[in-house]
Amino acid sequence: MLGMRWTPLAAMLVAGLAAMLLAGSGPAAAMQTGGADLTRSVPALRETDAVASIDDAADDPAIWRNPADPTKSLIVATDKKAGLNVYGLDGHLRSTIAAGRVNNVDLRSNVMIAGKRAILVAASDRNVIGDGRLALFALDGKAAKLTEIARVPIAMAEPYGLCLYRAGRRLYAFVVGKDGLIIQLRIDAAGPTATAIPVRTMKLATQSEGCVADDRTATLYVAEEDVGIWRFGAAPDAPTTPIKLAGVDGVQLIADVEGLAIAAKGRNRGWLIASSQGDSAYAAWRLPDYRYVGRFRITASGAIGGTSETDGIEISTANYGGDFKHGLMIAQDGDNAPKAQNFKLVRWADIATAFQLK
């Protein structure tokens, strides 16, 4: 800086730059150095077996709670290059179904399937680009196996996100397209042939994927990757205009915004959690007032690694017994080197304690 006049302002700028270099640069570093938005850490407790496919393959999980013995509950998750995997809460693979390129997954229990109450699993099917489908399966909770029911065509070129919504006896699927198109379909699997009839469409401006519906409050949340989180009414006759909940601001949310999940409490309380993929963190908002709570990362614990660049997440605050008697969070791990990608399991109690959630 030859010839530069050393003023008090210049000294302040250099000091500030030096502090940034010492702490690391960018919003993520600021989050780690303190202040109201300090990013907390919670340990991973368990992990699933790695998916069979390499590179970017694991994507989205869903949880089925076994009401007879919650410790024998199951995780259904996507290997988006090969199909669906079923894991026990110990993380071990129980079965696989070769469903091809299915991206996101969700499930509901006590659904009428071919005249009997069963567990219905739905996945966004993008095996053929330009010919999007909704893939439907039945989960045998005792055998931990999936059986395909149907592949229903939908008017979407490339389905990405998917979440289910139940209103009374009616079951709906929201399928989110790569271009931001959202189609709501009414699912009927009670008869010999399963159907999924479109009842409404919505639209976000750019690439979107993650979504979650709150059955308690009839609210749909959708992540527009480079923009933020939006909410809609989930009822088929609700307005189609989105309401912005949070934006990608480089502080609370760092693009891409990916998976969304609800940690439910009571009739309408709880927390909405989002994967802030750009800095491998998760952000939380309180329900129902949407007050921002803070951020956390899932870190290594012993031989279990942390998570990075997470896609899909799922949370249940129900009692699963043992380590998960206060619920659990499942998060896709975008690295898991030297093995292929997998999913990490975290005690919800550890997250609640980190933020003193009540």
Looking at the predicted structure, is the pLDDT value of residue 307 above 80? yes
Residue 315, judged by CB atoms within 10 A of its CB (0-12, 13-18, 19+), counts as buried
Model confidence, pTM: 0.90
Looking at the predicted structure, is the pLDDT value of residue 26 above 60? no
Q: How confident is the model at residue 37 (pLDDT cuts 50, 70, 90)?
A: low
Provide φ and ψ at 163, rounded to 5°. Answer: -150, 155
Domain assignments of the chain as residue spans, ordered by start: 36-355
CA-to-CA distance for 104 and 356, rounded, in angstroms?
31
345 strand-pairing partners: 46, 330
Count CB-CB contacts under 10 A for residue 311: 26
Provide φ and ψ at 277, rounded to 5°. Answer: -65, -30
CA-to-CA distance for 21 and 12, rounded, in angstroms?
14
Provide φ and ψ at 81, rounded to 5°. Answer: -105, -5
Q: How confident is the model at residue 358 (pLDDT cuts 50, 70, 90)?
A: confident
Residue linked to tokens 């024998």: 72
Looking at the predicted structure, is the pLDDT value of residue 346 above 70? yes
pLDDT at site 169: 93
- Indicate the SS3 state at residue 10: helix
Residue linked to tokens 């923009």: 227
Q: Topology of domain 36-355, per CATH? A: Neuraminidase (2.120.10)
Q: Are the C-beta atoms of residues 285 and 245 closer than 8 Å to each other?
A: yes
